[in-house]
Structure 1
């Protein structure tokens, strides 16, 4: 599961806009926009959520789920591969 706040934070962390994330995930821009404006947990069909998470992972991101080991104890996102993020932005 991913929250709307995690999704927005993930994009900000790697510096990609909604359009680029839509392109990388194979989802439409309106779908990404809808996901980011969700109240809490992003809702969608399994295929769309799988594509979204795969795109975030390809950007070098790791989602931190509730109850996972993290300093704050809550949900979040962290960069695990900075070079993947640079490559996705076209910087390498």
Structure 2
């Protein structure tokens, strides 16, 4: 997966999805950077579409987020999204 020329991530994973995934997990950029092995600065540049990340970088991000329970939803006419793969139990 890489960024295309219009700053979206191929395979229907977009910077907005990365930010939304962090929000679902209640993760800071520092949390995701730690889980993925990236720097906070790199993550910030990716999330703001200021850089074209390498395929290995996108793989590290998606692997970390999916391992934490995020599921990426491809664009299907309603737009791309994210959701938690497992329902949260309310205490």
Give me the TM-score of the superposition, normalised by structure 2.
0.75
Runs of 5+ unmatched residues, structure 1 = 84-92
What is the RMSD of the two structures over their aligned residues, measured on CA atoms?
A: 1.9
**Bigger helix fraction:** 1
Residue 53 of structure 1 pairs with residue 58 of structure 2: no
1:2-81 equivalences in 2 (<5 Å): 2-38=13-49, 43-67=52-76, 73-81=78-86
Where do 4+ consecutive residues of structure 1 move more than 6 Å? none
Runs of 5+ unmatched residues, structure 2 = 1-9
Give me the TM-score of the superposition, normalised by structure 1.
0.75
Number of matched pairs: 77
